[in-house]
Amino acid sequence: MLKSSLKLKNNYKDKMIFMGQFVMALILMTYSIVNFAEESNGTQDIGEFSSQSIEFNRASAVLSPAHKRAIEGMLLVDDETKNKELTLAVWSDYPLPSQGKELGSDQRTLARMRMVAIKKFVESTSFKGKVRVFNMAEQSNSLAKMFNSTLRDLQSRIAYEKHGDDLHKQKMDVFKVEGKPRKAVLVLANKQTSL
The per-residue pLDDT for 24 is 58
The per-residue pLDDT for 99 is 74
Report how far apart, in Å, the C-alpha atoms of 169 and of each of 36, 120, 193 are: 19, 28, 11
The per-residue pLDDT for 10 is 60
The per-residue pLDDT for 145 is 57
What tens-digit pLDDT sequence spans the chain (195 residues)? 545 554 555 666 666 665 666 555 545 554 444 443 333 344 454 557 899 999 999 999 999 999 999 999 998 866 666 788 999 999 999 988 777 788 999 999 999 999 999 999 999 998 989 999 988 888 766 666 555 544 444 444 444 454 456 777 788 889 888 999 999 999 998 876 445
Best CA proximity match to 187, nearest among 65, 97, 53: 53
Q: In terms of pTM, does the model score above 0.85?
A: no
The per-residue pLDDT for 138 is 83
The per-residue pLDDT for 58 is 97
The per-residue pLDDT for 38 is 38
Give the residue ranges of DSSP H helices in 99-180.
Answer: 105-124, 142-147, 151-159, 165-178
Please say whether the beta carbons of 63 and 118 come within 8 A.
yes
* CA of residue 131 relative to chain centroid, distance: 16
User: Hey, what amino acid is at 132?
Assistant: R
The per-residue pLDDT for 27 is 56
Tell me 162's DSSP state.
S
Q: Other CB atoms closer than 10 Å to residue 176's CB: what's the count?
A: 13
What CA dihedral angle connects 100, 105, 109 and 112, to 10 degrees?
10
The per-residue pLDDT for 61 is 97
Best CA proximity match to 125, nearest among 67, 60, 39, 174: 67
The per-residue pLDDT for 166 is 73
User: Hey, what amino acid is at 188?
Assistant: L
| Tally of residues, the chain | 195
